[in-house]
Amino acid sequence: MKILAIESSCDETAAAVVADGRQVLSDIVASQVDEHMLYGGVVPEIASRRHIESISGVVSQALSAASLGWGDIDAVAVTYAPGLIGALLVGVSYAKGLAMASGLPLVPVHHIAGHIAANYISHPDLEPPFLCLVVSGGHSLIVEVPEYTRFRVIGRTRDDAAGECFDKAARVLGYPYPGGKYIDAAAKKGSKTAFKFTHPKLSGCEYDFSFSGLKTAVINLVHNAEQRGETLPVEDVAASFQKTVADILAEKTALAAKALGYKKIAVAGGVSANFGVRARMKKLADSLGAELYLPEPKYCGDNAAMIGAQGYYDFLAGKRADESLNAVATLSLEDI
């Protein structure tokens, strides 16, 4: 079964053709990073306009790269939630038009479910149930995946997500947007023990995250040094900061895996491309005697292949949408 998938939840206009949820026949991404870099972050209005300009060409390229025509496609899948509302609307509207014109079924896909499904592409042997750490943009979640289309969120961030924390720390350290990859590169050259950042202590759910305090600690460290006229070893700050984020993510995931008895652990989302996080999660899995599943770096960020992968399982589960489908800016995995 071949699914044409569309993703436009933030600043990447993407289309892909995926066969049977695992085989990527084409994967096209039109990135807006260079333009948003000028503003230090994604500008929603600009993102929406660029999606409008790019989406038709990206979809055509996806079909062409797969050497397929409309007669070869079995369904259209599209990200409808969560994300920037204007950006989502472009993809949803275009996908509805394609489905109506072609008579193909329309499958609505949750963006975070798509990130989790990226692991099915990189690991054809992975099947539920498993535990997944999702670290994507504004989301930091620990998710139980009992079935392909069922999710239970057991831990979440109470303030800033890990990805947001990376970007904000990078900005104050003088790196451009998106900051995560610059922190990662700098961390490889710095000392992970040069600076000691505390881990947050939270009451209530033991699997929840909080990164606002860490973000503030880095900002204060830099500002205090500036006020004293001192020059910080930026690479050491980056390395120590990244180690702290990775440790927090791993520690919370370990608590959940031990308590719930999971021996299969996956990581998903843009931050899963981070070298420090990947290494720390590998160390965690080894200590637990668990299998670790990480997406290939090209499937960590926003892409349509992951939407096609999840769309396949959503299709098999009978999920369909009609012309009334709308974009939704905020929607929990548990509400789909």
- pLDDT attached to residue 193: 96
- pLDDT attached to residue 40: 87
Please report whether residue 121 resides in a domain: no
Please report whether residue 318 resides in a domain: yes
Q: Indicate left, alpha or beta for 324 from its phi (over 0: left) and psi (-120 to 50: alpha).
A: alpha
Rounded to 5°, the CA angle 304-38-41 comes to: 55
Residues 233 and 269 in one domain: yes
- pLDDT attached to residue 186: 97
Residues 185 and 294 in one domain: yes
Residues 83 and 142 in one domain: no
Condensed to tens digits (0 to 9), the pLDDT of residues 59-85 reads: 999 999 999 999 999 999 999 999 999
Residues 288 and 305 in one domain: no
Residues 277 and 138 in one domain: yes
Number of domains present in the structure of the chain? 2
125 contact partners, CB below 8 Å, separation of at least 6:
none
Give the integer Cα–Cα distance in Å for 155 and 162: 13
Residues 271 and 314 in one domain: no
Residues 29 and 169 in one domain: no
Please report whether residue 123 resides in a domain: no
Residues 147 and 287 in one domain: yes
Residues 236 and 137 in one domain: yes
Please report whether residue 168 resides in a domain: yes
Full residue range of the structural domain in which residue 232 is found: 128-298
Please report whether residue 246 resides in a domain: yes
- pLDDT attached to residue 7: 98
By the 8 A CB rule, do 282 and 292 touch? yes
Question: Is the peptide bond preceding residue 295 cis, with omega within 30 degrees of 0?
Answer: no
- pLDDT attached to residue 159: 94
Please report whether residue 219 resides in a domain: yes
Residues 150 and 270 in one domain: yes
H or E stretch including 267?
A: strand 264-268
Please report whether residue 92 resides in a domain: yes
Q: CATH number for the domain including 158?
A: 3.30.420.40
Residues 238 and 285 in one domain: yes
Nearest C-alpha neighbor of 244 from the set 294, 177, 301, 197: 197
Residues 68 and 153 in one domain: no
* Average pLDDT for runs of 10 along the chain of length 336: 97 97 98 89 94 98 97 98 98 98 98 98 97 93 98 96 94 92 96 95 91 96 96 97 98 97 97 96 97 97 97 98 97 92
Q: Which residues pair with residue 267 across a beta bridge?
A: 133
Buried b (16+ CB within 10 A) or exposed e, 321-335: beeebebbeebebee
β 2-7/12-19 pair status: antiparallel
Give the integer Cα–Cα distance in Å for 80 and 116: 16
Please report whether residue 122 resides in a domain: no
